[in-house]
Structure 1
Amino acid sequence: MAGNSDPLTPRAKLAVTAGRAVAAASRAAGRGSGSVIGGKVALKLDPDLLARLAQNLDCVLVSATNGKTTTTRLIAEALRAAGPVVSNALGANMPAGITSALAGGSDAKFGVIEVDEKYLAGVARDTDPKCIALLNLSRDQLDRAAETRMLAENWREGLAGTKAVIVANCDDPLVVWAASSSPNVIWVAAGQMWKDDAWSCPACGGVMQRPGDDWFCGECGFRRPTPSWALSGDHVLDPHGSAWPIHLQLPGRANKANAASSAAVAAVFGVPPQVALERMYQVQAVAGRYDVVQFMERDLRLLLAKNPAGWLETFSLIDPPPAPVILSVNARSADGTDTSWLWDVDYTRLTGHPIFVIGDRKLDLAVRLEVANQHFQVCDSLDEAVQMCPPGRIEVIANYTAFQDLRRRVGN
């Protein structure tokens, strides 16, 4: 533990040791990182372990539908300017995975923790964070995720009166509604490309008015707060009006927005924007996302998109036509088994690209592309799709388990 001023109880130490042993056995058996099963065992032995591990850390929690893993990584890089960091960098973002990650950070000063949206309130209670970053809320995993308004309500109730500084995106009405119950909020104008989950007012159900970049409810007066931080082109504007250049190796507007929120979080911990943003340049890929890998004499860029908002952002950063695009969609339990969300994605944005379709639910996606008047080819495997593409770069977009399948196939 940081400073070791409050060492773990014997029971907690036993729980950590047992969790590590189980995780190691899981890795040895080729069943992934073992962080989740290790954390589950540790929490069984000491249900208060997460709180004990967090007690000497200055924690920041990061939650959102999209961008959690990347933003967590950017914040962790920025805070390393001020001391050692422990983080669940691989995205195991439920209590077991978080516990596992913190158990490995005995000398850390800061805990930078990605949290699944449904678990945010509980993890906040356990970890007593100094800061919580709320980025966006949109539809995801339709068969099991709460309706987005309910999720915002859960955040609002769970974070009411929290001591944590909330860093929240003022361009997402659902996030604003969730954060507004907290006494200390720093608003960031990070933008919102996907608006289809925020046309009705979360406060009263009235119709949201959206002139330009502004928004307000014409019925109850709920409106966009004034930001103190903002993304402006390739710069972050801080509360003093200074503009700091964003230098990222990660592509796209969404990642600039993630960097703006990360800079605001870093400032809460005393790391100045210039230092924070310079450190973020180190991040080239996040758990395989944005990696360019050589495979069958082509360059494949691996892009993760799990829901309509994520696909919309991803389409905005792919190479222009005629760059070939391979799309892979699964519907396993980790993805959500309901693929009706495909109908919410505007696939006409791929017009002009040669499209190749793979994955467990390739036929669901084929029907959707047919209706969108896209030219595509259904393939049985990644290898077959790649062989049909000319030499050069291929954009590969996949949802969650399809992305993991791709990484295994290309040895990433």
Structure 2
Amino acid sequence: MAGNSDPLTPRAKLAVTAGKAVAAASRAAGRGSGSVIGGRVALKLDPDLLARLAQNLDVVLVSATNGKTTTTRLIAEALRAAGPVVSNALGANMPAGITSALAGGSDAKFGVIEVDEKYLAGVARDTDPKCIALLNLSRDQLDRAAETRMLAENWREGLAGSKAVIVANCDDPLVVWAASSSPNVVWVAAGQMWKDDAWSCPSCGGVMQRPGDDWFCGECGFRRPTPTWALSGDHVLDPHGSAWPIHLQLPGRANKANATSSAAVAAVFGVPPQVALERMYQVQAVAGRYDVVQFQNRDLRLLLAKNPAGWLETFSLIDPPPAPVILSVNARGADGTDTSWLWDVDYTRLTGHPIFVIGDRKLDLAVRLEVANQHFQVCDNLDQAVQMCPPGRIEVIANYTAFQDLRRRVGN
């Protein structure tokens, strides 16, 4: 392909125009943003469109089970210090949604792209990224996604010999295994709260030893690499040993970890940590996550948690007891239809909170809470749950489609 200032062939331009028209029609019909259907149409007309759109951009790919939408936003904000950015900020993270997002960024210098774990290797092939951020891998959507070890293997094979700088979390053994096939890796100590998917060695299957924050396999010697970037309390430690304060409007340790990885990515493009971290303060909420909204004269904080690792991080954010908590779980296509993951979540962490349960699978969740000896009430809908909540800010935790339902109901 020619590297001229306009990489788009007439066919590619037609594909972009058609995709935008279909997306606009979808929006007008009230069927969402239209980015996925628009991208599908565009790729049908020109299967090479994603590669063509990416070729004049410095591309960053972000993949993980948890935190990729937020980290994509933080990186995009940091890189705006160095030039215009195009990004799939609303989380449409498969090839059609990514194509749609890039088609809207004709003047951009950087493409900051969230990628679904299953599609990472293919999108990396198409977009020739300068940098790939790998944050974590844990069980998610059991009926759709491959088992985590298979996903790590898929990443490892797909990224072998990649020219990209891989920014990888050295605290997650599955991520380390996946990244180790690449010649150019920047290791970040971002932490790992959820460890239940990494007790066996991804390299040989041996039992993983985990003294303190370290980990290693006693059988084959696979071990935690030495990081050059690290999260330390409220600071990012850079490769020179300097500590930079993290100021975020987003809550929790997980978002400090996301900011640390984002600072390491920004540095690959020459944006210094101080500048990157200052810019990240602009991010207040990500696609409605962490928003505090007024509903029925109450303050509700909306929190997204899609899988056991995500629920564990979310429990660490919520106000202490007796803050009321509403839990909502669906099992539609986008959530994964298998709810057996609920048994992997430690709901005893909600002891002392008044709990109210809603959503398509409220009875599945009720059984799980009963076994965990939690006091809860099952409600028909959000309105009823809010009316029954005792005073105080209400923490509302929901999985993916349940979260979208809540946002529509509260007008967010």
Q: Which TM-score band (shorter chain)?
A: over 0.9
Cα distance in 2, alignment partners of residues 2 and 188 from structure 1: 36
Cα distance in 2, alignment partners of residues 177 and 395 from structure 1: 36
Cα distance in 2, alignment partners of residues 381 and 2 from structure 1: 56
Is the CA contact (8 Å cut-off) linking 2:7 and 2:55 kept in structure 1? no
**In the superposition, relative to structure 1, how do residues 86 and 396 fare at CA in structure 2: closer, same or farther (>3 Å)?**
same
Per the TM alignment, residue 4 of structure 1 is displaced from its structure 2 partner at its CA by: 6.3
Alignment deviations for residues 360-394 of structure 1 (CA, whole Å, 9 cap, x no partner): 00000000000000000000000000001134310
Superposed, which structure 2 residues align to 1:209-228 within 5 Å?
209-228=209-228
Per the TM alignment, residue 47 of structure 1 is displaced from its structure 2 partner at its CA by: 0.1
Is the CA contact (8 Å cut-off) linking 1:78 and 1:279 kept in structure 2? yes
Task: Point out 4+ residue stretches in structure 1 off by more than 2 angstroms.
Answer: 1-4
Alignment deviations for residues 261-314 of structure 1 (CA, whole Å, 9 cap, x no partner): 000000000000000000000000000000000000000000000000000000
Alignment deviations for residues 8-57 of structure 1 (CA, whole Å, 9 cap, x no partner): 10000000000000000000000000000000000000000000000000
Superposed, which structure 2 residues align to 1:290-301 within 5 Å?
290-301=290-301
Q: Secondary structure, in 3 states, of the residue corresponding to 1:199?
A: coil
Per the TM alignment, residue 6 of structure 1 is displaced from its structure 2 partner at its CA by: 3.3
Q: Secondary structure, in 3 states, of the residue corresponding to 1:143?
A: coil
Cα distance in 1, alignment partners of residues 140 and 331 from structure 2: 12
Is the CA contact (8 Å cut-off) linking 1:2 and 1:108 kept in structure 2? no
Stretches of structure 1 that go unaligned for 5 or more consecutive residues are none
Is the CA contact (8 Å cut-off) linking 2:324 and 2:392 kept in structure 1? no
Alignment deviations for residues 385-405 of structure 1 (CA, whole Å, 9 cap, x no partner): 000113431000000000000
Alignment deviations for residues 96-134 of structure 1 (CA, whole Å, 9 cap, x no partner): 000000000000000000000000000000000000000
Is the CA contact (8 Å cut-off) linking 1:303 and 1:397 kept in structure 2? yes
Is the CA contact (8 Å cut-off) linking 2:7 and 2:56 kept in structure 1? no
Cα distance in 1, alignment partners of residues 4 and 312 from structure 2: 46
Cα distance in 1, alignment partners of residues 12 and 249 from structure 2: 40
Alignment deviations for residues 56-78 of structure 1 (CA, whole Å, 9 cap, x no partner): 00000000000000000000000
Is the CA contact (8 Å cut-off) linking 1:3 and 1:107 kept in structure 2? no
Q: Name the TM-score, length of structure 1 as normaliser.
A: 0.99
Cα distance in 2, alignment partners of residues 94 and 4 from structure 1: 27
Cα distance in 1, alignment partners of residues 143 and 117 from structure 2: 15
Is the CA contact (8 Å cut-off) linking 2:298 and 2:393 kept in structure 1? yes
Cα distance in 2, alignment partners of residues 51 and 280 from structure 1: 29
Per the TM alignment, residue 5 of structure 1 is displaced from its structure 2 partner at its CA by: 1.3
What is the aligned length?
412
Q: Secondary structure, in 3 states, of the residue corresponding to 1:113?
A: strand
Cα distance in 1, alignment partners of residues 203 and 335 from structure 2: 30
Which position in structure 2 is the counterpart of 1:380?
380
Alignment deviations for residues 148-170 of structure 1 (CA, whole Å, 9 cap, x no partner): 00000000000000000000000
Cα distance in 2, alignment partners of residues 5 and 320 from structure 1: 55
Per the TM alignment, residue 2 of structure 1 is displaced from its structure 2 partner at its CA by: 14
Q: Secondary structure, in 3 states, of the residue corresponding to 1:4?
A: coil
Per the TM alignment, residue 144 of structure 1 is displaced from its structure 2 partner at its CA by: 1.4
Is the CA contact (8 Å cut-off) linking 2:331 and 2:337 kept in structure 1? yes
Cα distance in 2, alignment partners of residues 196 and 352 from structure 1: 25
Per the TM alignment, residue 3 of structure 1 is displaced from its structure 2 partner at its CA by: 10
Cα distance in 1, alignment partners of residues 382 and 8 from structure 2: 48
Which position in structure 2 is the counterpart of 1:52?
52
Q: Secondary structure, in 3 states, of the residue corresponding to 2:3?
A: helix
**In the superposition, relative to structure 1, how do residues 4 and 27 fare at CA in structure 2: closer, same or farther (>3 Å)?**
farther
